[in-house]
Structures are given as structure tokens and as C-alpha cells.
Amino acid sequence: MSVAVRLHNVHKTYPGTPSVVALDGISLEVPAGTIYGLLGPNGAGKTTSIGICTTRVRATSGTAEVAGLTLGRDDVDVRRRIGVAAQAITLDRACTVGENLYYHCRYFGANRADARERTEELLERFRIADRRDALPIQLSGGLAQRTQVARAMAHRPEILFLDEPTAGLDPQSRLALWDLVRGLRDDGITVVLTTHYMEEADRLCERVAIVDHGKILVEGTPESIKRDAGGASVVDVAFGGDASAAQAAVTAMPGVREVVPTAGGLRLVVDSEGSVVPSVVAALSGYQLTDLKVTEPSLETVFIRLTGRDIRE
Amino acid sequence: MNNPPTSIRASVFGLWARDFRVLRREWLPFFLRTVMNPLLTVFVFTYVLPRSGQHLPVAAGAMTFATVLLPGLVAVAMVFTGVSAVALPLSIELGATREIEDRVLAPVPLTTVPLAKVAFGAFQGMLAGAAVFPIVMLLPATEVHVRVASWPMLALMLALASWTAASLGLFLGTAVRPAQIGLMFALVLTPITFLGCVYYPWASLGAIPWLQYGVLANPLVYMSEGLRIALTPDVPHMVPIAAILMLAFLATLLTTLGVRGFIRRVVA
């Protein structure tokens, strides 16, 4: 299978006082024709990675290739082959929805007739035809994001980059966007997206890289990542009793892999098979247990295991 | 794949088509903001004051004040257009909304977008000059002595002046954050207008030597003087070659700084 995007040991430091290390040696390969997710908390380096792939951020060191072209050398040709929808709504506010699509086609060299035809096609396909004369500020978040994706696709790119495409969208708009992304993949487009929604990475993406502090912690299909993490659940408990005694009581229990103190309680990483949770409850019964939350094996528990933090912390 | 120069040209026409669409939609505000300043200046200085018996002393050899004002006000209209049609939108598009992004992602070198902006801004500057000309020509109560000695000279001066104005707009648009726009009017536009040889020919500053040399850093001085050479050659003016060379130099400098500033703002 051919590779759509290849990053090799990419570093990016933003100058300033203090300088900020955004990427600390990222290497990854995105197979062509897949939906690939960069998953991580805000500030992990996802947007910087996308910025480098889309010619808007220059890597401090390392190499980046998109569609077999080298970033920093073939930027103009790279721009021809990629579509980009940024996290913020960057629609041209002085132009209508239809004009945003039409002029995008013109920027990519289409003549008037072709640009008009393509605009009609996109307005229909992305179901925004009834809003063609609306200005971007009159659109809801979901429609604006859909318009942005339509615009990013207008010049028929091979690779589509979506930066946090569903951030701030209501659940319905989010599902609609997922369908849209799957449809594009079915047409043979490679889609690279960033998200901080575990569920989005799990359900939408065929491959995922979990990113934190400018590094890739783990990479693979969501299934393989969860499997390699060994089917661990995370149990958060809150109680009023003596924390260190409680920690000692559960640490040696069979099925408990890790115990970390949290504010007001403990976080346990436990085997998801078997009956570990009831035993934990029993062991903590003398410690005024007030709350218990079990997170089933998911990308979220993988992230917690790898970093000791929730993704939204 | 398209051959690169052809595809750059197509993209540039696309960028201009977009700007032209926006200009057509906004033609009334464009026209009003362009003509208000010259309309009131001409009304007060060449109609109200002479009619009420308060004659302004006019520089030696300058004939009427209205004749002095004509090239100056055309130049001011160009500078204001460079700011309002290039700098203000660009400052916003480069700022929080990042609207420029879609154009930056067009398959052209990064220099293309700002250069296309300057070219379109220069075109708008010409339109602004054309809108102002009949006002400053026909409205004054006193006579206006316009004499185009050389049409190629006029074409050259108009081209250089509008390029300078648009490149000033590009430079300011990339250097000024949206929150500082008010400050830019106070600290940049007001001084360059009042010290831009708009209301007096440069030669008349001979009485104040420090000022006569000080204003030479102001691009508007050469725009006003250049248009004076082309439109009202009977008013004292700079030697043509000085105005031409300085306009070409300043426009090149401002374009270079503006393009650099633009790239710095769009690529991290």
C-alpha cells in the first residue's frame, strides 16, 4: 500500500521567550486511502503536525513528505494535492458560501465555467445549496464546518487534512460529518484528522496515533492499540478514609496493575476480565467509599495508562 | 500537470476576480470614503474661505490654492485607498479570522498573494484618484490650472503613486494588528497627510529647512509632487527624476517589507 503522508523525526520549536517545543521527534506513515487520526490533548502537537504537512508550518528539523513530495521544497505542488479545513472557521467573510467555493476553484486555476460547475456540484453534494447566498457569519457551526470541508475538496485533492473538524459541533452535526468523511474515504481520498475525542478516533479512524507533548506514544489501529494495552479498565474511587492505607490495601490485589493517588481518592488500572471491581469495592469498604467510576477498555484508558492523565486534563 | 507560469497567472486572475467581486459589492462605501475627505477639503478651503473673504496666502508662483490642492488631494485619496482597501482588510484577514488561509493554500509561491494584493490595491488607488479628480477640478470657486504637458509622464506618475500607496497598505496591513488600527490612523496616516506636501508644494518649505528635509522620508511627498509635475506643472515642484526615483525606491522597499511581513504572518 502506498504512503500518503510520511513524517520522519520531525521537530518543531517555536521561537520566543521561552521557546516552545511543539514537536519532539514525530515519525509516522499514513497509508493512502485511509482515515488517519491524530489523537491527543490540546497542545499535544496535533495542529503543528498538520501545519507542517500543509505547508503552513516549517519544521525545525526532520523530513516531511506528502503525496511523495517533500515539504519545504515542493510546497506549491503539495498545495495542489491537498485539501485543508482548519479548526477555526476561515471562510472568506466578505464572500457568500457559493462564492467561497467558486473563488477557491479559481485560485486553483479553474476557468469560470469549470468553477461554476464544480461549485454547483459541491453545493449539492455537501447539502448546502439552500445556503449558497448566505454569508459565513450567518451559518451554524455545523454548516460552516461542512462548507469548509466542501471548499477543501473543491480542487479534488488526494489528501484531506481536517484539524479538529468536530470540535464544538452538536452530536448530530458530528455524526453527519463522520458520514461525510467516510464517504470521502470511499471515494479514495486519504483523510488525516486531529481530534481530542477518544470516541471519534475509535469509531471513525482506521489508524490512530496518540500524541502527547510533541511525541507519538502509540500508533496503530484502534483495535490493536486497545489490545496491546492489554484490556485494562480504569477504576476511579473516592473515599473519606486514610488514603495511604487504602492504597496499600488494593495494591497487592490480583488483577490490579497500577494504583495512583488522585485528589480525593485513587485511580486503579485493572484487568477488565474477571471480577476485580467487586473485590476492590470489598477491599475499600472500611474506607468510607463515596464514589466509583469504571472506564471500560478504550483509547481513553490507553491514554490514561500511558500518561497518567485524562486527555481533557 | 499545468505548466507553472500559466497556472500562476490563472490563480492571480482568480485572486483579482475575488477582490473585484468584493469591490463591486462594496462600491458605494468605497466611493463615499474616497470622496468625503477631498469634498470637504475643497469645500472649506476653496469655497467657504474665499467666499467669506478669508484668502489663504498661496506659495509664490502657485497660482490658486485650488491648483495646489488638486494633485495633493488625488495623492491623499490614493494613500487612504491603500490603507482602507489593502491594509485594513489584510490586517483582519491575517488576524483572528485567518481568512487569508484559503488563498495562502493556493498552489502558487507565497509571494503571489501579497503581490496580487498590491496590484489590485494600485488599481483601486487609480479608481480613487479618478473619483476625486472631478471634485477637486470642478468644485472650487477659484480657478484650477491643470495642464498635462506629457501624457506618458502622467501615466508613469499615476502608476508609481498608486503602487506606492498600495505597497504602503500591504506593509501596514502586515505590520499592524487589528487592535492597533486606530493608533495607525493617528500616528501614521495623520502625520503623513499633513506633512505630505498636499496643501503646499515642497519648494515652499524652503523657508523651514529642517522640515523640508525631514518630510523627504514621507512617501506621500513624492506622490503629491509627482502628480504636481504631471498635472499642474506651473506650480513649483520637485525635479521629475527625483520624484520618479524616490517613488520607485519607496514602492520597491515597501513591497519587499510587506511581502516579507506577509510570509512571516502566514508561515510559522
The per-residue pLDDT for range B139-153, each reduced to its tens digit, is 887 888 888 888 998
Residue B105 and residue A99: Cβ atoms within 8 Å?
Answer: no
Q: CB under 8 Å to A74, separation ≥6 — which residues?
A: none
- pLDDT at residue B168 tops 60: yes
Per-residue pLDDT at B122: 94
CA dist B59 and B81 (Å) reads: 28
Segment B34-61, tens digit of pLDDT: 888 888 888 888 888 888 887 776 766 6
Cell numbers for B26, please give them: 462594496
Per-residue pLDDT at B60: 61
How far CA A93 is from CA of A122, A137, A144, A151, in Å, comes to 19, 7, 11, 14
Closest CA to A151 of A118, A176, A180, A199: A118
Q: Is A8 on the interface with B (CB under 8 A)?
A: no
Q: For chains A and B, what is the number of CB pairs under 8 angstroms? A: 92
Give A106 to chain B, closest Cα distance, Å: 5
Residue A208: beta bridge partners? A37, A220
Contacts of B107 in chain A (CB under 8 A): 76-77, 79-80, 108-109
Residue B13 and residue A106: Cβ atoms within 8 Å?
Answer: yes
**Which residue from A54, A91, A95 is facing B18, i.e. has the nearest CB?**
A95
ipTM value = 0.86
Give A201 to chain B, closest Cα distance, Å: 26
Cβ–Cβ under 8 Å, residues A131 and A143: yes
Q: CB under 8 Å to A268, separation ≥6 — which residues?
A: A234, A235, A236, A237, A250, A256, A258, A259, A260, A280
How far CA A136 is from CA of A84, B7, B21, B22, B245, in Å, comes to 17, 28, 16, 14, 44
Note the pTM of the prediction, 2 decimals.
0.85
Mean per-residue pLDDT of chain B: 89
Q: Is A94 on the interface with B (CB under 8 A)?
A: yes
Residues 144-183 of chain A with CB under 8 A from chain B are: 151
Residue A103 and residue B21: Cβ atoms within 8 Å?
Answer: yes
Residue B18 and residue A76: Cβ atoms within 8 Å?
Answer: no
Residue B267 and residue A57: Cβ atoms within 8 Å?
Answer: yes
Contacts of B13 in chain A (CB under 8 A): 106
Where do the H-state alpha helices sit in A94-204? 97-107, 112-125, 141-153, 171-186, 198-204
Per-residue pLDDT at B1: 46
- pLDDT at residue B176 tops 60: yes
- Return the ∠ at Cα A180 (arms to A174 and A181), rounded to 5°: 90
- Would you mind telling me the total number of residues written for chain B in this entry? 268
**Which residue from A80, A90, A99 is facing B101, i.e. has the nearest CB?**
A90
Per-residue pLDDT at B6: 63
Give B135 to chain A, closest Cα distance, Å: 30
First to last CA, chain B: 29
Give A79 to chain B, closest Cα distance, Å: 5
Average pLDDT (A49-54) is: 95
Contacts of A84 in chain B (CB under 8 A): 101, 105
> pLDDT class for A30, splitting at 50, 70, 90?
very high
Question: Higher confidence at residue B78 or residue B5?
Answer: B78
Mutate to test the interface with B, among A60, A82, A106, A107 (most CBs of B within 10 A): A107
CA dist A146 and A167 (Å) reads: 13
Q: Is A312 on the interface with B (CB under 8 A)?
A: no
Mean per-residue pLDDT of chain A: 88
Instruction: Determine what percent of chain A is predicted with pLDDT higher than 70.
Output: 97
Per-residue pLDDT at B37: 85
> pLDDT class for A312, splitting at 50, 70, 90?
low
Segment A217-240, tens digit of pLDDT: 889 998 888 877 666 788 888 888
Rounded to 5 degrees, φ, ψ at A228 are -65, -30
Per-residue pLDDT at B7: 83
Give B33 to chain A, closest Cα distance, Å: 18
In B, minimum Cα distance to A111 occurs at B10
- pLDDT at residue B265 tops 60: yes
Q: Is A11 on the interface with B (CB under 8 A)?
A: no
**Which residue from B22, B99, B267 is facing A58, i.e. has the nearest CB?**
B267
Angle between helix A141-153 and A97-107 (nearest 10): 20
Convert chain B into a string of H (helix), E (strand) and C (coil).
Answer: CCCHHHHHHHHHHHHHHHHHHHHHHCHHHHHHHHHHHHHHHHHHHHHHHHHCCCCCCCCCCCCCHHHHHHHHHHHHHHHHHHHHHHHHHHHHHHCCCCCCHHHHCCCCCCCHHHHHHHHHHHHHHHHHHHHHHHHHHHCCCCCCCCCCCCHHHHHHHHHHHHHHHHHHHHHHHHHCCHHHHHHHHHHHHHHHHHCCCCCCCHHHHHHCHHHHHHHHHCHHHHHHHHHHHHHCCCCCCCCHHHHHHHHHHHHHHHHHHHHHHHHHHHCC
Residues 61-80 of chain A with CB under 8 A from chain B are: 75-77, 79-80
Angle between helix A171-186 and A141-153 (nearest 10): 10
Contacts of B10 in chain A (CB under 8 A): 106, 109-111
CA dist A75 and A81 (Å) reads: 10
Average pLDDT (A270-280) is: 79
In the DSSP assignment, the letter for residue A71 is: T
CA dist A94 and B22 (Å) reads: 7
- pLDDT at residue B2 tops 70: no
Taking an 8 Å Cβ-Cβ cutoff, which residues of chain B contact chain A? 1-2, 4, 7, 10-11, 13-15, 17-18, 21-22, 25, 89, 97-99, 101-110, 266-268
Which letter, b or e, does each residue of B56-94 get, where b requires 16 or more Cβ atoms within 10 Å of its Cβ? eebbeebbbbbbbbbbbbbbbbbbbbbbbbbbbbbbbbb
In B, minimum Cα distance to A73 occurs at B109
CA dist A244 and A261 (Å) reads: 8
Segment A66-111, tens digit of pLDDT: 999 999 999 999 999 999 998 889 999 999 999 999 999 999 999 9
Per-residue pLDDT at B257: 96
Residue A79 and residue B107: Cβ atoms within 8 Å?
Answer: yes
